[in-house]
Amino acid sequence: MHPQAAVCFKMSARRPFLLFARAFSARVFRNVSKKEGPAIKPHKKPLLDDPRMYSADGYCIDQGASRAIRYGKCSSAQNGCGWIAAYNLLRIAGKPYPPARVRAGLAPTLWMGGRMGTRVTALWRYLHRRGVTLVSGSMSATPIAAERPGGLAFYYTGKGFHFVAYASAGRPRRYRFLNAVYGRDRLLCTPQQFRKQFFKHGVGLFFRIAEPCPPVPWNL
């Protein structure tokens, strides 16, 4: 064989190996580059609250429509009854706050990323610092006076605990309960009727707005 032909033969025999080596090196380099540099995520605009969440007069009545909203590490549809009750009660008390601001104020107090929902004491403190103080007690003895426009119900549903804000309906012993039945705007009933229908095994408490606001206990 001619010497030049032999050289050409050797180079052609090595060519597949060289192509494979180049391809392998390029792939390894790409993988290393991906691991070294932080992933750049495209900017996402903040999601607006679904209009179906709110009644015509601005109260949040449908937690189920808040699936796209994050509250802690969970969807608000799963654990958002606390911030919804706080938002509604501030509105009832004449101290309205934007929904996003209420969520942001309560999110740092959540346990386990919000998987356990909103703590009663954290919600109590949050409302008090905004001028709304709650006291617990039975609603069966006397109706709420005009200067006490509403409060909160905290009760066991059979699957977990739920917060609901209620407002005076303008009639003796009748109250409007918000977000107790998702999407139902005018759930009007007496406290006894609400307890019988919604408090599973009778487990639950009513909290009413106190006038004037008592001081915050030091150990809360």
The residue-averaged pLDDT of 161-187 equals 92
Cis omega (within 30 of 0) on the bond before 108? no
Tell me if 214 is assigned to some domain.
Answer: no
- Asked if residue 66 and residue 34 are part of one domain, the reply reads no
Q: Which of 206, 202, 81, 87 is nearest to 135 (CA)?
A: 206
- Asked if residue 159 and residue 113 are part of one domain, the reply reads yes
CA distances 199 to 6, 137, 192, 194, Å, are: 93, 15, 10, 7
Inter-residue contact 204 to 140 (CB < 8 Å): no
pLDDT digits (tens, 9 = 90+) for 109-127: 998 888 888 999 999 999 9
pLDDT score of 102 more than 50? yes
> What pLDDT shows up at residue 23?
53
Tell me if 27 is assigned to some domain.
Answer: yes
- Asked if residue 65 and residue 36 are part of one domain, the reply reads no
> What CATH number is attached to the domain comprising 196?
3.90.70.10
The torsion region of residue 155 among left (phi > 0), alpha (psi -120 to 50) and beta comes to: beta
> What pLDDT shows up at residue 138?
55
pLDDT digits (tens, 9 = 90+) for 33-79: 344 444 434 434 445 788 999 999 999 999 999 999 999 999 999 99
CB atoms within 10 A of CB 90: 20
> What pLDDT shows up at residue 124?
93
Q: What are all long-range contacts of 123-126, with beta carbons under 8 Å and residues at least 24 apart?
A: 123/82, 123/85, 123/86, 123/152, 123/163, 124/207, 124/220, 125/216, 125/220, 126/86
**Percent above pLDDT 90 for the chain:** 56
- Asked if residue 184 and residue 128 are part of one domain, the reply reads yes
Domain that holds residue 24: 1-40
CA distances 180 to 38, 80, 161, 205, Å, are: 44, 13, 12, 14
Q: Cα separation of 160 and 162, whole Å?
A: 7
Inter-residue contact 150 to 59 (CB < 8 Å): no
Q: Cα separation of 170 and 17, whole Å?
A: 87
Domain count, the chain: 2
Question: In whole angstroms, how large is the CA radius of gyration of the chain?
Answer: 30
Tokens of 62: 């449908």
Tell me if 220 is assigned to some domain.
Answer: no
